[in-house]
Structure 1
Amino acid sequence: MDIGENIMDSIKYPLQDWAKILILMVISIIPIVNFASGGYYLRIIKSTLAGVDEVPGFDDFGELFIDGIKMIIAYIIYMIVPLIIIVVGAFFLAPAGATTSYAAATMFTGISLVVMLIGAIIAFIISIIAVMGIANMAYYDNELGAAFRFSEIMERISAIGWGSYIIWLIALVIVIMILGFIIGLIAGILMFILVGFIVYFAGIAYLTMLQARSTALTFAASLEGEVVE
């Protein structure tokens, strides 16, 4: 897998159709309706895996909405354990603030930080698997159960190569952070004429499309010799 080519393709991919960036922007800022943005993320992955390089449309909006809910459910299931651990850790801050004993406050704060750190580490490890789990879900026509076929997902990552996969994840995060900073800076400068709000939310839509495309291209590296469903 050529990571540089993957990232460059993904950066250019949304820019071929600005209208769809704006449509996704509008969808993303409307409460409840914005569930469909997750469905569109899956549609980009599915479209890419089918060999289509054009940005997909928003037809059959009901399907996008339902698929978006499935994606949210999948992420909740993936992250429920680390979230519970982090919340439990946060509860130790209450007695730390209530006690008048320095020693007790230090103990409760220390326990809180350790427990929350453990939760964060577990969340990070799980997220590495979840990225391909969501892609696997899109591969199987957005079947929710496909997001949790762990043995298959691990085989996909192994086929890509764990080294290449981790490097790709790091590269993707860095690119999104850099572009996000640039978008935020431009939005901040233009905020006084309200155009900044459009730039900001359009930027989020753009980054969502970029991530979906890059994820699909990475997942596709594990499909050599297979027929895309």
Structure 2
Amino acid sequence: MILDIYKDALEYSAKDWKTLVILGVLSVFSFLLLPAFLITGYNYRVINQAVHGIINGRDPLPGFDDLIYMFVDGIKVVIVQVAYVIVPVVIFIIFAVIAGNVGGGLSAAIMIIGCLITLIVAVVAFLMEQMGLCHMAYHDGAFSKAFDIKELKEVISEIGWFECILTYVGLIIITLVIAIVVTAIIGLIFTVFGLSGFALGVDAGGVFALGIILNWLVTIFLVGPYLSIFNSRSIGLLYTMQI
């Protein structure tokens, strides 16, 4: 089932390169915040479509209409993400303060224990946050559903805690592999061109600079948006495993 999710999400994310470019343009201007919330809102639409769909379906990518609603959804998503991050951060700060008020080996021991507890809480909070977004989408954007801990625990238990963690580990690996492979291929091509030019007595600096620029453009306008949609689609489909 997990492999089916990956397959669906990989194919789904490549359905419309124009959408990827639009998301890329928004990411370039994300420092203005408005585009950043639109990106987050769009990814939420991908999740929303997934939780109401099926694996290996024929869903098209969501459109870029109703930008005000997309912006509002983006704000809601960010609030949910920040709320769940606060818990492990507070726990870490508490242990850091305690460790700072004692000395020697006890301080180190407290920090090690604190880091382990923070890591465990962070993993649980992350799963809750991701399923919270899906739960909110499944219930027509009901904000409170993102924080319904009892229901979220039931959702994750239905899917399986191990299956959820395994799915996210797979997402991290796939994301890293795609990003690294694409970057490596472009880098290798321009390295070959650059060395060939150098052998022929041509200044290779311009070739290497072009390679760096092209790598940046491909990452911003294609790879980054593709992986963003891939992860959002996968999260939404994972949620459907308990329905």
TM-score (norm 2): 0.77
Q: Is the 8 A contact 2:43 2:232 kept in 1?
A: yes
**Percentage of pairs with the same residue:** 30
Stretches (4+) displaced over 6 A: 91-96
Asked if 1:27 is matched to 2:26, the reply is yes
SS in 2 for 1:123: helix
**Displacement after TM superposition at 1:53 (Å):** 0.8
Does the Cα contact within 8 Å between 1:135 and 1:219 map onto a contact in 2?
yes
Give the partner amino acid of 1:34: A
* Equivalent in the alignment of 1:142: 141
Report if aligned partners of 1:176, 1:207 keep a CA contact under 8 Å in 2.
Answer: yes
| Cα separation, 1, equivalents of 2:52 and 2:129 | 21
For the 8 Å contact 1:90–1:116, the answer to whether it is kept is no
Partner of 1:14: 13
**Distance in 1 between residues matched to 2:23 and 2:105, nearest whole Å:** 47
| Correspondence for 1:128 | 127
Structure 1 Cα separation of the partners of residues 89 and 163 of structure 2: 28
Aligned to 2:41: 39
Q: Using the TM superposition, give the Cα deviation of residue 111 of structure 1 relative to its aligned residue in structure 2, in angstroms.
A: 4.2
CA contact (8 A) 2:99 2:106 kept: no
Secondary structure at the aligned position of 2:14 is classed as helix
C-alpha distance in 2, partners of 1:168/1:155?
18
Q: Say which SS state the counterpart of residue 171 (structure 2) adopts.
A: helix
Shift of 1:13: 1.0
Give the number of aligned pairs. 215
Aligned AA for 1:195? Answer: L
What residue number does 2:214 align with?
195
* Structure 2 equivalent of residue 213 of structure 1: 233
Q: What are structure 2's unaligned runs of at least 5 residues?
A: 191-207
Aligned 1:156-167 pairs, distance under 5 A: 156-167=155-166
The structure having more radius of gyration, on CA atoms, is: 2
Q: Which has the higher contact order (CA 8 A, sep 6+)?
A: 2
Q: How far does residue 122 in structure 1 lie from its aligned partner after superposition?
A: 1.5
* Partner of residue 65, structure 1: 71
Task: Tell me, yes or no, if the aligned pair for 1:43 and 1:56 is still in contact at 8 Å.
Answer: yes
Aligned equivalents of 1:7, 1:209: Cα separation in 2: 12
Q: Superposition RMSD on alpha carbons, in Å?
A: 2.6
Please list every run of 5 or more consecutive structure 1 residues that lacks an aligned counterpart in the other structure. 97-103, 224-229
